[in-house]
Structure 1
Amino acid sequence: MAQAILNNNQAPSNRQGGSTHPAVVVTKYTKRADENGWLSVKLEPKGTLVALCEYTKVTFTKESGGRTYFRIADGNSEFVGQTASLKTENALKYLMDTPPTAPATVKVKYTGAPAHAISEFKGKLLQQWAQVSFNGKTAKVTLNSQWGGEFTPIPPGRHRIMAPDRSHGNISTGGYKAQGNLHCTDVWFPIELQGTKGNSSRYIHVGHLSDGCVTFYELIKWNDVYDYLICRRVKGEGGKYVGELLVEK
Structure 2
Amino acid sequence: MNKVRHIIGGSDGWLRIKLEPGGEIVSVPEYLQVAVDGSSAGRDHFMVLEGVQKGKPASVTAGNLTPGPVPLRKAARLVFEKSKGVLLCGERKLHAITAPHNEIPDGSHPIQIPDFPHQGGRGYMTDSKYAKSWFFLGNGDAVGGLLGRDRYLHTGMISAGCVTVDPPDWTAVYEYLIRCRSNDGRTVGTLIVRK
Give the TM-score, by structure 1 length: 0.70
Task: Tell me if the contact between 1:109 and 1:247 (Cα under 8 Å) persists in the aligned partners.
Answer: yes
Task: Tell me if the contact between 2:86 and 2:94 (Cα under 8 Å) persists in the aligned partners.
Answer: yes
Partner of 2:96: 141
What is the Cα deviation at residue 165 of structure 1? 1.4
1:74-223 to 2 correspondences below 5 Å = 74-75=50-51, 77=52, 79-91=53-65, 96-111=68-83, 130-144=85-99, 147=101, 152-169=102-119, 171-174=120-123, 176-178=124-126, 180=127, 182-192=128-138, 197-198=139-140, 199=142, 201-216=150-165, 218-223=166-171
Structure 2, unaligned runs of 5 or more: 143-148
| AA aligned opposite 2:169 | K
What is the Cα deviation at residue 244 of structure 1? 1.1
Task: Tell me if the contact between 1:30 and 1:95 (Cα under 8 Å) persists in the aligned partners.
Answer: no
What is the Cα deviation at residue 100 of structure 1? 2.4
The CA RMSD measured in Å over matched residues stands at: 1.8
The number of residues matched between the two structures is 188
- Which has the bigger relative contact order, CA under 8 A and spacing at least 6? 2
Residue 179 of structure 2 is aligned to residue 231 of structure 1:
yes
What is the Cα deviation at residue 172 of structure 1? 4.9
**Identity over aligned pairs, percent:** 31
Q: Which runs of 4+ in 1 moved over 6 A?
A: none
| AA aligned opposite 1:58 | V
Task: Tell me if the contact between 2:8 and 2:64 (Cα under 8 Å) persists in the aligned partners.
Answer: no
Q: Name which one, 1 or 2, has greater alpha-carbon Rg.
A: 1
| AA aligned opposite 2:180 | R
1:17-56 to 2 correspondences below 5 Å = 24-35=1-12, 37-56=13-32
Give the TM-score, by structure 2 length: 0.88
Task: Tell me if the contact between 2:82 and 2:97 (Cα under 8 Å) persists in the aligned partners.
Answer: no
| AA aligned opposite 1:88 | A
